[in-house]
Amino acid sequence: MSVIQPFKALRPLPIHAAAVASRPYDVLNSQEARVEAKGNDLSFLQVTKSEITLDSSIDIHSQEVYDKALENLTRLQQDGILIEEENACYYIYTLVMNGRSQTGLVCVSSIDDYENDLIKKHEFTRPEKEKDRIDHMCTIGAQTGNVFLAYRDVAAMNQCIEDWRSSHAPLFDFTAEDDIQHTIWCVNDPVTVQGITTIFAEQVPCTYIADGHHRAASAAKAAKAFPNSQNARFFLTTIFPASQLAILDYNRVIKELNGHSVDSLLAMLETDFIVSPSAVAVSPTQLHQFGMYLQGKWYQLEAKEGTYGTDPISVLDITIFTKLILEKHLGIEDQRTDKRIDFVGGIRGLSELEKRVNSGEMKIAFSFYPVSIEQLFAIADSGNVMPPKSTWFEPKLRDGLLTHLI
C-alpha cells in the first residue's frame, strides 16, 4: 500500500505567497522566465531557473547556475521571505481554472514505493533532463518541483479533505496573473495527520504519475547523494483523486509531408480513415477521431474498425496516429528525437495549430481527443508506457509555495 508522510515545508509567509509562486520550471524557457520574473525579486524562478539572474550567455547546465540557485534560495530564507514549518504537516491544494476546481493532497511520497512500482509510470524519461534536476537538487539540498500523482477515489479521503477545507481558513489564497486561483490549507492537527497517513496505508494500493516523470526519477537518483538523510527517501508530491482530474488534448504539428502531395496524402489516409472535409476547426468529440489541418483546410479523420487493437496501448488514439499516419506515411519513427515534429498542449487551443501551419513553419497539424484518466491507469497497470507527449494536465501547480528540504 502507499506510504506517504507529512513534512516541514519551506514556504513563503502568506503576504509573499503570490509574489514567490512561479510556474513550473519546465513550462518556460530561459528567456520566457526572464520576462516573467522581471521586476519581481521574490519570484521562485530565481531558484528553479537561476540562470535568469546570470549573464544570458551562460550554459544553463553549468555548476555556476546550480550554485546561483542555492545562493538565491538562501537569500529568500535569510530575508525572511521563506520560512520552514515548525512541525510536519500535510497541505490541501485547490486550483480553480475557468470555473472548474480540483483539489489534491500535498505530501511527500516514498522513493521505495517509486522504485518498487507502487508509484506507477506511463512515460520514459530522458537522461539529460534527469541530470539537470539531479544537479539542482543535490546542490540546493531541496526538491522544488512537485510531482503530480493520481489515485482512484477513496471516499474516506475525499471526506477528510472536504471537512478540513470547510472548517479551516486557508494559509494561501490568491489568483495568479493567468487567472488561476491557488488556495492552500495547512493540515496541522496531529489526529487528522495520522488519519490521512492511515487511509493511504490501508486503502490506496498504488498511485500513478500524471505529470512529473523526470522530477520523480531525478529525486530517486538524487537520494543516493544523501545516504544519511531520511528526508531524501521521500519526494514532494501532490496527489489528486481521479474524479478531480481533467486531461487535455496534446496535439501535433509536422514540418513536411514526406514527399507526398496534399492529394496523394489524402488518398492514402482513406485506406485507414474516413476522411471528411470540415468547415470549422475540428476538436474531436470521441475516441478514434482526429482533426487535421492542411493547406488552410480542416478535415475530420475517423479510424476505421479493424485498423487498431484492443489492448491498453493499441487502442490509444496516439498509437493509432503513430502507426497509421506518422510511421506509415510521414516517415517519423521516433517522436522523442525526430526534429520534424513538435507538440502543442491543448491549453493553447486549435488556433495555435492553424497559426503554426499558416506561418509556413509547419506543413500539417493534428488535433486529438484527450486520453482519459482510466486509460492512463490501465496502461500503467499493464506495465506499458505511452508514446511521448500523450497527456497534458492543466492547471499546473506553482513552484515555491511548498518546498521539500532533503
pLDDT, tens digit (0-9, with 9 covering 90-100), for 234-283? 999 999 999 999 888 999 999 999 999 999 999 999 999 999 999 999 99
Please check the confidence at residue 233 and state whether its pLDDT lies above 90: yes
The helix (H) or strand (E) run that includes residue 183 is strand 181-187
- Region 172-176 average pLDDT: 97
Give the phi and the psi of residue 129 in degrees, each rounded to 5: -75, -35
Q: Taking 80 as the threshold, does the pLDDT of residue 110 lie above it?
A: yes
Q: Which residues in the chain are classed under CATH 3.30.1760?
A: 250-369
Q: How many Å apart are CA 102 and CA 247, to the nearest integer?
A: 12
Q: What is the pLDDT of residue 291?
A: 98
pLDDT in the model for residue 385: 83
- Phi, psi at residue 370, to the nearest 5°? -65, 145
- pLDDT (0 to 100) of residue 124: 82
Indicate the average pLDDT of the chain.
95
Q: Give the mean model confidence (pLDDT) for residues 319-334.
A: 95
Mean pLDDT of all residues in 317-327: 95
Tell me phi and psi for residue 9, to 5 degrees: -70, 145
Evaluate whether 371 touches 154 at the Cβ level (below 8 Å): no
Listed ranges 36-45, 243-252, 341-350; the one with the highest mean pLDDT: 36-45
Residues 6+ apart with CB under 8 A from 158: 241, 243
Give the per-residue pLDDT at 27: 86
The pLDDT value recorded for residue 310 is: 87
Under a CB-based contact definition with an 8 Å cutoff, are residues 225 and 337 in contact?
A: no
Q: Band of the pLDDT at 216, cuts 50, 70, 90? A: very high
Q: Are 19 and 116 in contact (CB under 8 A)?
A: no
Q: How high is the pLDDT of residue 104?
A: 97
CB 85 within 8 A of CB 59: no
pLDDT given at position 290 = 98
DSSP state of 259: T
pLDDT score recorded for residue 337: 84
pLDDT(383) > 90: no
pLDDT tier at 394, thresholds 50, 70, 90: confident
Q: Is the pLDDT of residue 93 over 80?
A: yes
Cα–Cα nearest to 368, from 388, 391, 351, 385: 391
Q: Give the pLDDT score at 66.
A: 97
The answer to whether 208 touches 117, Cβ cutoff 8 Å, is no
Q: Is 330 within 8 Å of 258 (Cβ atoms)?
A: yes
Residue type, 6: P
pLDDT the model gives residue 299? 98
pTM above 0.75, yes or no: yes
Predicted local distance difference test score (pLDDT) of residue 331: 96
Per-residue pLDDT band at 127 (split at 50, 70, 90): confident
pLDDT score recorded for residue 346: 87
Pairing of β 250-254 and β 364-367: antiparallel
- Residue 197 in 3-state DSSP? helix
Residues near 224 by Cβ (< 8 Å), separated by ≥ 6? none
With 90 as the cut, is the pLDDT of residue 387 above it? Answer: no
Q: pLDDT confidence of 289, banded at 50, 70, 90?
A: very high
Residues 57-75: what's their mean pLDDT?
Answer: 97
* pLDDT (0 to 100) of residue 340: 95
Look up residue 217 and give its amino acid.
Answer: A
* CB-based burial label for 33 (10 Å; 0-12, 13-18, 19+): buried
Q: Is the pLDDT of residue 388 over 90?
A: no
- CATH numeric code, 250-369: 3.30.1760
Contact assessment for residue 194 and residue 209, using Cβ atoms and an 8 Å cutoff: no
The C-alpha cell that represents 310 in the structure block: 484492443
Reduced to 3 states (helix: H, G, I; strand: E, B; else coil), residue 330 is coil
Q: Indicate if the pLDDT at residue 79 is higher than 90.
A: yes
Which long-range contacts link 332-341 to residues 24+ away (Cβ below 8 Å)? Answer: 332/254, 335/387, 335/388, 335/389, 336/124, 336/126, 336/388, 339/255, 340/254, 340/255, 340/256, 341/252, 341/253, 341/254, 341/255
Q: What angle do CA 376, 380, 383 make, to 5 degrees?
A: 150
Is the pLDDT at 317 greater than 90, yes or no? yes
- d(C-alpha 139, C-alpha 24), whole Å: 19
Backbone region of residue 43 per phi and psi (left: phi > 0; alpha: psi in -120 to 50; beta: other values): beta
